[in-house]
Each structure stands twice: as structure tokens, then as C-alpha cells.
Chain A
Amino acid sequence: MSSSPRNRSSSTITVVVVAFVLIALAALAVVSGTGQAFVTGLYPPVAVTEQGAKVRDLYTIVFALAVVIFVLVEGLIIWTVIRYRRKPGDDMLPAQTHGNNVAELAWTIIPTIIVAFLFVISWQTLNEVDATSASAQTRIRAVAGQFQWQFDYLADDGQTVQYTQQLATGDGGGLYVPAGRNIQLSLTSQDVIHAFYVPQFLFKRDVVPGRVNKFDFKVDAADAGQTFRGQCAELCGAGHRLMLFEVHALAPADFDAWLADAIANASATPPPAPSGPATPSGQPAPSGQAAGPTLQVSAQNIAYEQSSLEAPAGTPFSIEFDNKDAGVPHNVSIHKDSASGEEVFKGDIFPGPAQKTYDVPPLPAGTYAFVCSVHPNMTGTLTVK
């Protein structure tokens, strides 16, 4: 007497549903650009490494199979729903088919063959992608911590550090690599689990404390001069989203020059003196007090404890910087107008817990931002007047 199926035929609802879905898909196409963009979006980015290209080829095959299977099965569902809707008033039972063993065998055996095929081609690609060789031409160690990346360029023995790249992003920062050469990257963590992920490599690998993971990659020679973004991909705490890095691919000769330069600069710089400003003119700093006031700045938990500072215009002044974060590198740098403005001062980067005094040269009056070069989210306002 109540709503038994025989009283409830809804022929219009299917049409309405289908219409809604199509409208939604159209809306999706509009919002995310053209329909073309939608399809492209279903693909990973174009790979810039040899290994990544192989993964992308594999993806193409998996994707093609996925589309075919989806269209077939979903099509079957939709067609069945439209074709076999009960007509109002039809009380006859349909044929009470209990099953069909041939069908069961078919849709057991065929999918098994398909997945076996997918497994085999995946395994083949894996062997190519995951191979680490003893003959890597460039060895780099990525050191992940909460919340920054640091890259150690290693000598051929894989142990001696020739140069440490302290900044992962920004001016002069990032992972510089030679395109066209085989690079071996080893991954170490200072604290919790992180992950090294470059979307354009179509690759990521966890950075696990207590373990050293290694992988090889070779950026295509054609991609020399490009920069790729990278990011930590394993939740590592409150600063997880901040652990960005850039990969700069250089032509081999450019890379060799860059590295030699970096090594030279690193050894030429005197060991960080308590009061050694990095003036652009390279003038030796007057040791001893600066004439102006001393500002106190401290950093803890990847944040400055001060949000605004004031300094007099036209007078050199000092910043006493207390880095309270154990094992985490910080500094204080000053940028014109805002954190993304031109850098006018950069203090030495050092890990805590430690203190350093920076001597800052005179600045014209105006608004500035003080920023940590390693963690650009750490910022505050400096008013000079």
C-alpha cells in the first residue's frame, strides 16, 4: 500500500540526472579553462628528466586502459539504467537469472590478464627509474629539516662536502644541477620524515631519519636554463607547506663554473665573525661598535619573536640576533618595502642555538621588511626614520 516499487516509476529523473551531470561537467570545463585544459589536466606535467619521461609513457598506457575500461563499464551502467527501467504498471517478473559461469570466468580471466600486463610494464619501468648507478657524475646530498632544505655538494667520494647551498629558494638559492649529466641525490633528515618531490620529475622519495635514500636522475640537456619547483611532500609539522625548493638546471659548463665559484666564495669568506656585515662593496668592516642603536631580534619555532622594529635613518646600526631554534638555520635580511622587495642587507645564516651581531650599514628613511632568507614566511616590518 505504501511505496512499493510498482508504484514508483521515475522516468524523468534519469534524464534530469544526466542533464545535471552534463551541466556540471560543462561548468567544470568553463571554470578550469577550456575543455583542452581539462584533458591536459588529467596528465602529469611534461617530464624534464630521462626517468620522468619513462614514467609519463607508462602513465599514457595506464591512462588509455583506464579510459577504455571506464567508458565501457560506466556506459554499461548508464545504458542498463535507461534500457531496463520498469514501465509503470508492469508487474511481470523479469527472467530470474541466477548467474552464468562462463561470464564469471570471462570477467575473472580477462581482468587478470589486464592487471598482469599493467604489472609487468610497471615493473619494467620501475627498474629503469629506480636504478642507482655507481657512476653518477654529480653527487649531491639533500638535508631536510623542520622547515628548510639544504643541499650539500659532495666530492666524488660521496662524503666530503665541497659546498653547502643554504638557501633552497630565492636569489642565488636553490638546487643547481647540470643538465645532461647523471646526478645522484642522497636524502638525509635532521629530525622527522620529509619527502623530496619535484612534480616535473614525476618523482618523489621520502627522507627518513636514520636512513639514507638515494636516487639517480638526469635532466634533459634541452631543459638547461630552466627552473623547476619542488616541495616537501610528507607532513612534517606546522611548517610543512613552507618547505619549498627550486631546482635550477644549468648547461654542464655553466654548472661547473657555478660550483667552482660557490666553492671559492665559501672558502674566501672569513669564518663568520661576530660582527661582519656583508656589504656589497666588499669593504672590510670596521670591527667594533657601530654608531647607532642595537636592535634585539630573536627567532623561535620558525618565527621571529618581534613583528616590528625601528631604526634611525642614515646611521649604521646593529642587530643582535638570537637564534633559539636548535639545529635550524636562520638569519636576518632586510628588503626594501616588503619581503619580496630588493634585498639591501643579508646577515650570515647560522644554526641555533647561537647569537650573532650584525652591523647594518646606514639606510635611507622608509619602510622595510626583515626576512629570514631560509624561511621567507618569517618576516616583520622595519621602519627607518
Chain B
Amino acid sequence: MATTTLTPAATTYQTGLYAWLTTTDHKKIGIMYLINSFVFFFIAGIMALGVRTELAQPGLQFFTDLQYNELFSMHATFMIFVFIIPILAGFANYVVPLQIGAPDMAFPRINALSFWMLPLAGIILLLGFVTGGTAAAGWTSYPPLSEDRPLAAIGAGQDLWIVGLVLIGTSSILGAINFLVTIFKMRAPGMTLFRMPILVWTVLVTSVLVLMATPVITSALIMLFIDRNYGGSFFDPRVGGDPILYQNIFWFYSHPAVYVMILPAMGMISEILPVFSRKPLFGYKAFIFATAGIGALGFSVWAHHMFTTGAVYLPFFSLMTFLIAVPTGVKMFNWIFTLWRGKLSLNPPLLFALGFLSMFLIGGIDGAFSASVPVDFALHDTYWVVAHLHYVLFGGSVFGVMAGFYFYFPKMTGRMLNETVGKLQFVVMFIGFNLTFFPMHELGLAGMPRRIADYSSTAGWNDLNLLATIGGFTIAASMALFLWNVFVSLRSGAIAGDDPWEGNTLEWATTSPPPPYNFDHLPEIRSERPLFDVRHGRTAAH
């Protein structure tokens, strides 16, 4: 039958800078999210290399104590707030409207506003480096240390940090509202909630978490600001305040935040595994309930970050923390049994997804140790925690981001990333990652605390620290490969076509890149795999 399409001669994008600066198109905004996030990923990565260079050998060689404290504080701040949370929002921005058959997000102008707040916030955070010092009390900024009392070793950088984070929080909340209205109200006919792709479900749950949790940290940050600048008494014990109050309010957000940092990546994994196994996701509904369960339970565990304060009701938080392993395990098994008896094509998206599964498994098992309160008494605030958090956030989220990037780059640009370089990047990244972070389990067990610029040469930690630094530079090498792949492929990668991977979902039913407003016509939607159905003759028209 005759089809009229909106196929343009070349790319559908206006290439002018003005077009990009003023766009409200979710696809362009999504790409800008990705670019901005990667820029800050590399900045934060360089900070991490600074940390690892200083720790490679005992002795304070390159930085002063205060500079070192600034480095790790800002490394974490950038990675969490300006890289991982926004990049996942960026992928969601690009993919979700396409996956539900919508022409754009519900509020395109607010979408643009959400994005532009991010480079602004990033710059505000960086300004600390040129105004006498950034925040240096850890990304957690516990008072009284973050209130400069009594030693005013930290200056206005902490205030810039607060302002930057409030901006980012606002951007996130507006984004969450946008995603929720889009998902609830703009699905194409036939796409019931239980036919939505898993990525859309994870974005839905993530958006609920962002909506409910982020404002709470905004309140904590504002109270900290008032204490610092207006003589407030929220958290300073010398005027009747309570430092533990800050920790409770802070972690009430920051724990759900870790699910914000991983759920969309898990969503992308859940798109990739079925495509590259050529079978559907195992246990679609169970997966959704598990995700919702994780979101809900995630609000009940925050004080497991505070076990050693002596100020929390330990059994409750320990139990809830252990319980959250159950829905996580359900997802893990559902993923594995998607692969089981499939026909696996080991392209880069699948390789990174497999890396995700293995590394997240380790990170999750680490968490079980910390959930046990007496064990946590030994492991808290040591390098064990650094190992755990990087296994879930790097081994998990970053590998998930890489998987999603290799998967969606063709759709976004119309070109394929180089397969061989991609596989090489995976191998180098996988090895570098494990070399860096596995030894940290042992360092933590042996007693090396976190956040120290230097360590005693007789503590027995020298070899493992050197190994971790070698691993860190290996990761950097893998990132060089990544950048090379991106830039070369943008210029001369193979043309992708609409559907290079034989995808299951609607984003593959339009051109690469899609035209403005995404679709000229939509296939019938009868299941969670509309394109698969069309391809294999399961729609009414066949």
C-alpha cells in the first residue's frame, strides 16, 4: 500500500547553533543531555585520576590535604549530579516519547529549561575552583564540618555547591513531572500500561522517586545554607542543633537517589537483552512489580548509611535493606533467563549488558555485607564502601550507559559505532574497572578508611593502592577508545537504517534519526513488542 513519509533528503536537524540553543525537540534535548553529561563525566574522571595518582604510593606528593578533599568531594558531586542522573534523564528524554509513540514530551519548553539548568549548575560547581576552593566536606557535606565550624578551612565553595545542587534538583523535578505526564497521557492508541517497554516503566518509577525524594534534599541544602550564612541552628550542636538531623534528611533523598541512578540503566539493559537474545524479556510483569517494589522499599532504608552514628533504630533498617535484595534478585534472574535458550549475538550492546550483569551482581552482594549491622561496623567508611558503590554505579550504571549508548547511537545519528573498537573498549574497560575497584574490597577489610589523602607506608596497603591506580589509568585508556569511536563513527560510521538491531519497540519503526514529531504512521500495538509483532506477522493486518 502506498505510504507517504516525511523522509527528508539529509538529516532532519537544522544544524545551526541557534536551532540547538532554542530547540524544544526532545531528541535534540536528549542529545544535549548526553553531551553535557559526558563532558562532566570526563571532568570528574580527571579528578578521580588525581585522587588515584596521589594514592598510588604512600606520601603526600601532588596535592595538599585540602586540595585532595576538594578533589574527591567534587568527583563524587559531578559524577552523581551532573553525570549519571542527567545522562539517564537524557536517554529517557530521547527514547521514551519514541517508545510510546508520542510526538514529543508533554511540556517541551519545560524540557528545554530542565536541560539548560544543568550546564549552568555545572559551571557554578566548577566556579569553586577559582573562588578559593570548592566544597571539601565530601559529597555528603555533613555538618558541622560543612558549616566551617570551628576551623574555617572551607569557604564559599560550599555555598556554590549548595546553589548548584538546588538548581540540579529543580531540573530533575521538572523533568520527572514531564516524564510522568508524558507517560500517563501521551501513549499511542493500543499502548496500555502493560504493553509499555520496560525502559518506560523504569523511567516512570524513577520519576516518582525523583518527584518525592529530591525536594527533601532541597530542604536539607537550604537548611544548611541558612546555618552557614544566616546564623541558623538546625545542625550546629553548639546552638541547639543536631548534626544527625541533617544525616536523616540527607539520606532520605540520597538513598532513593541511588535507584534513580540505576533504574533507567536497568531499563535499557531490559531492552537490549531481548533484542540480542531474540526472545522476549523473561517475566515482563514480574519485572515491573520488582521495579516498583524496589522504588517503594528504597524509601525505607536510608539510615543504613548511619549505622555507626549510634542514633538509629538498627534492626528495622537492616531488615529493609536485606529485603531489597529480593526484588533485585528477581530482576537478575529474569535477565539471565532472557538470555537462557536464546540466540545471543555478542555485539557491543550485549557485551556491555553482560558486564553490567556481572558487576552489578558483585556490587549487590557487597551490599548484603553492609546490610549486616555488625559487619557494617567494621566496613563503614572504609574502602569497602568505595568498592561497593563503584561496582553498582560504574559496574552497573556506567556499563548500562555504555550499553545504551552503543544501542541507541545508530538511532540518534543514523550511523553505527565501530564494532571492533567497541569490543576493545569493553575489554579494556572491564579489566581496568576490576583492577581498580576489586582491590578496594581488600583495602577496606584491612582497615583503610575513606577520604584520606595519604596513608602510612607501614599499614600494608601500598601494593593494592598501586594496583588500583594502574586500573584507573586503564579505565582512562578505555575512555580514549570510546571517544575515538564516537568521533570517527560520527564522520564515517556505517549507515544504520531504521532498525539495525531488529528491535522490538516503536523507536525502531521510524527513521534514524527520526523526523520532527517522530512518526508519520505507527504500527498496530498489540503487545510490548509491537515491531516484533509486525515483523513476524502477529498483527490483524497480516
Contacts and interface: CB of A to CB of B under 8 A. Distances in A.
Complex contact flag A–B (Cβ < 8 Å): yes
Interface of A: 1-6, 8-10, 13-14, 16-17, 20-21, 24, 27-28, 31-33, 38, 41-45, 54-55, 58-59, 62-63, 65-66, 69-70, 73-74, 76-77, 80-81, 84-87, 90, 92-100, 103-104, 107-108, 111-112, 115-116, 118-119, 122-123, 125-126, 129-130, 146, 191-193, 195, 197, 199-200, 202-206, 208-211, 213, 229, 231-241, 244, 301, 326-327
A8 B419 contact: yes
Interface in B127-155: 136-138, 142, 144-145, 149-151, 153
B333 A205 contact: no
Given A24-B435, A233-B382, A233-B449, A77 B358 contact: yes
A191 B149 contact: yes
A99 B151 contact: no
B516 interface: no
7 contacts: A55-B378, A84-B339, A122-B375, A123-B315, A193-B142, A229-B447, A240-B452
Q: Is the interface of A mostly helix, strand, loop or mixed?
A: mixed
B279 A206 contact: no
Given A5-B347, A55-B377, A238-B153, A94 B501 contact: no
Contacts of B449: 197, 231-233
A112 to B, nearest CB: 5
B445 A213 contact: no
Interface string B208-245: 00000000000000000000000000000110011110
Given A77-B358, A208-B244, A8 B347 contact: yes
A232 to B, nearest CB: 7
Contacts of A103: 283, 333, 337
B495 A70 contact: no
Contacts of A45: 445-447
Interface stretch (B199-207, B255-263, B360-368): B360-368
A147 B221 CA distance: 27
Interface residues of B, number: 117
A202 B377 contact: yes
A365 to B, nearest CB: 30
Contacts of A31: 463, 466-467
Contacts of A206: 308-310
Interface string B429-445: 01100110011011001
A252 B252 CA distance: 46
Contact of A205 (B310, B441, B446): B310
A41 B138 CA distance: 27
A364 to B, nearest CB: 31
Given A28-B467, A103-B333, A17 B427 contact: yes
B278 A122 contact: no
Interface stretch (B88-96, B114-122, B159-167, B317-325): B317-325
B202 to A, nearest CB: 18
A94 B277 contact: yes
Q: Is the interface of B mostly helix, strand, loop or mixed?
A: helix
Interface stretch (B1-9, B169-177, B188-196, B454-462): B454-462
Interface of B: 64-66, 69, 136-138, 142, 144-145, 149-151, 153, 237-238, 241-244, 275-280, 282-286, 308-311, 314-315, 318-319, 322-323, 325-326, 329-330, 332-334, 336-337, 339-347, 351, 354, 357-358, 361-362, 365, 368-369, 371-375, 377-378, 380-382, 410, 416, 419, 423, 426-427, 430-431, 434-435, 438-439, 441-442, 445-447, 449-456, 459, 463-464, 466-467, 494-497, 499-502, 536
A73 B280 CA distance: 21
Contacts of A5: 275-276, 278, 345, 347, 501-502
Contacts of B447: 45, 197, 199-200, 229, 231
A208 B311 contact: yes
Contacts of A86: 278, 343-345
A59 B347 CA distance: 39
Central interface residue in A76, A95, A146, A232, by most chain B CB within 10 Å: A76
A239 B322 CA distance: 36
Given A62-B368, A122-B373, A327 B150 contact: yes
A84 B344 contact: yes
A99 B467 contact: no
Nearest to A122: B372
Given A32-B464, A32-B467, A62-B369, A97 B452 contact: no
A77 B357 contact: yes
